[in-house]
Chain A
Amino acid sequence: MTARLLSGPSTAAGAESLAGHRARLGDLPGRTDRAHLIGMIDAAGLLGRGGAGFPVGRKWASVAGRAKGDAVVLANGAEGEPLAHKDRVLMASRPHLVLDGLELAAEAVGARRTVLYVGSEHVDARIALERALAERAANRTSPLPRVPTMLVTPPVSYIAGEESAAVHFVNIGDPRPTTVPPRPYEKGVGGRPTLVQNVESLAHVALIARYGADWYREAGRAETCGTALVTVTGGARPGVLEIDLGTTVGELAEWAGVSASVGSPVLLGGYFGTIISGAEAWRQPLDPVLLRRAGAAFGAGVVAFLGDEACGVTTTARIMDYMAGSSAAQCGPCVFGLRAIADASARIATGQPRQDDLSRLRGWSQSITGRGACRMPDGTTALLASSLRVYDADWTSHQHHRRCAMRRGARVGA
């Protein structure tokens, strides 16, 4: 597995110092013109790593085109996805890579202010970034002009990392999404065009600026080039690692100590992601383009092995309850829809289904999609729909026979 972002000292050793960072990677190249750096990112084909997978170069170009030298860059390290750890590991171990990327972004889009937006629960990441900022202030070597950086720590919440919510929190302390348009790239922090970019994406840019687009494209084994950080859970050895895009789920299973013969379902992407059956999953390449074609998503780089022992219905019900509780409670279809989904799932999971619970779940998995200000309902219903597909027999058995196939047909509930 290619290590780029995580090459150098072990992530367990804590934050890499500025001296270590410079000795290993050298200084950033001098001032290049904006179009050149954005062109390099485009040529590299870097896709955003916050979950949506939007092309990074295109995003930067649209902010640069509007900003007239007064943009804001917000490095998004909220990482509210419960299964993901990769952003906090990156921030805690390679803070200078993130800050290099932030400086480059500020230069490329024409920003006078930058914001580090770091989930308040990611304590190691915050400390590492604060120290790194102090190191850089005391020992200024970057050829790029200095741009003030503000560290902002949103409260623990799933939705605080959504880009309009991040802007909203920085502006008025309310970490809830706003109605778009205007999107942050049009009107964001302080009303200025704002680039909201995930911290891993920024760290990749720090390397692309040094080594070029062709170098970036050397990694990657399928359609999409480059490496990515993934969080693997559910095996004997959970953790964060860097993979070549296109690495298969089966290879990760081996790395994580999951027995390949198990072939149990896998949750890809995170709580906004997709459950796919073990039979498909094992040879599935982790590649944003191929995953989309397969009806899944790379999302926030989560690969969660769900195992054969756990009941898929119960697992899904738990996630649905988490999502309903995480709704920002602003849009009706999300407020009422996610709660209805969570309650019906819980009834089915615990063996107390109402007669039409399962058919209503199927309906809601379609009818709530696209009806919120943000993508909360869409992501949640996509996960639900995939669970209804993969665990079809289990949902049916729970609903109609109150028996759990996972637990060898044992009756569920009282």
Chain B
Amino acid sequence: MSGRRVLDSGQHIEIDRISCDAYGTCAELLPEGIDLDEWGYPVIAPGNVPAHLLDIAKRAVDNCPVLALRLVKVTAAKGAEPAPPPPVLAARRPETRPDRMEGTPPWPPRPANRPAKRGPEQRRRS
């Protein structure tokens, strides 16, 4: 980190894992804090969203096609200690994917090469 102080928004992102269907919109909109695993499901950086990214985080929440994300205010009562500074969300990470463009379609279709969630082998039992 560059020593520049990162202001904490006091909110973190929660995911409804059952609803999430790996559309990937969130990682597209908020690459600083959300990564995708090899199956396209989000991995959220630990800690609270830094204040300067809160607006983008809200967009990511609002644009999830299945509304699986929410921003949750971390109440002071919950943890007596102050929340640790956000370690990963600090700086915009060098882009590893194409730059976001104005007018990115908000609900991209599911990539054709990704298998449906409930694969046929899934119910297999030994």
Contact = CB atoms under 8 A, between A and B. Distances in A.
A326 B37 CA distance: 22
Contact of B117 (A177, A179, A329): A329
Contact of A331 (B17, B40, B126): B17
Interface in B2-41: 16-22, 37, 39-41
A330 interface: yes
A322 B43 CA distance: 25
A332 B43 contact: no
A256 B21 CA distance: 47
Interface in B72-126: 117-119, 121-126
A178 B17 CA distance: 10
Contacts of B17: 179, 330-334, 371-373
A86 B118 CA distance: 33
Interface of B is mostly: loop
A318 interface: yes
Contacts of A367: 37, 43
Interface string A309-334: 00000000010011011110111111
A247 B37 CA distance: 43
B122 A339 contact: yes
A336 interface: yes
Given A335-B119, A372-B17, A325 B126 contact: yes
B18 A318 contact: no
A333 B126 contact: no
A109 B56 CA distance: 44
B41 A371 contact: yes
A335 B37 CA distance: 13
A327 B123 CA distance: 8
A332 B124 contact: no
A335 B118 contact: yes
Contacts of B126: 318, 321-322, 325
Contacts of A373: 16-18
A322 B126 CA distance: 6
Nearest to A331: B17
Contacts of A318: 126
A324 B126 CA distance: 10
A333 B41 contact: yes
Contact of B122 (A177, A322, A329, A372): A329
Contacts of A326: 125
A325 B119 CA distance: 11
Nearest to A374: B17
A339 B43 contact: no
A332 B22 contact: yes
Interface string A330-346: 11111111010000000
Interface in B54-77: none
Contacts of A327: 122
A84 to B, nearest CB: 18
Contacts of A330: 17-18
Contact of B20 (A177, A321, A329, A332): A332
Interface string A345-378: 0000000000000000000000100011100000
Contacts of B121: 339
B20 A179 contact: no
Nearest to B121: A339
Contacts of A179: 16-19
A329 B39 contact: no
A336 B125 CA distance: 15
A332 B119 contact: no
A16 B113 CA distance: 59
Contacts of B43: 367, 371
Nearest to A157: B125
A84 B20 CA distance: 33
Contacts of A321: 126
A367 B42 CA distance: 11
A364 to B, nearest CB: 9
A322 B124 CA distance: 9
Given A332-B40, A332-B41, A336-B39, A325 B20 contact: no
Nearest to A334: B17
The 3 closest A-B pairs by CB, nearest first: A331-B17, A332-B41, A336-B39
Interface of B: 16-22, 37, 39-41, 43, 117-119, 121-126
13 contacts: A179-B18, A325-B125, A329-B118, A329-B123, A331-B17, A331-B18, A331-B20, A332-B17, A332-B40, A335-B118, A337-B37, A371-B41, A372-B17
Given A179-B16, A325-B124, 16 more contacts: A177-B18, A179-B19, A322-B125, A325-B123, A326-B125, A329-B117, A329-B118, A330-B17, A332-B21, A333-B17, A339-B119, A339-B121, A371-B41, A371-B43, A372-B17, A373-B17
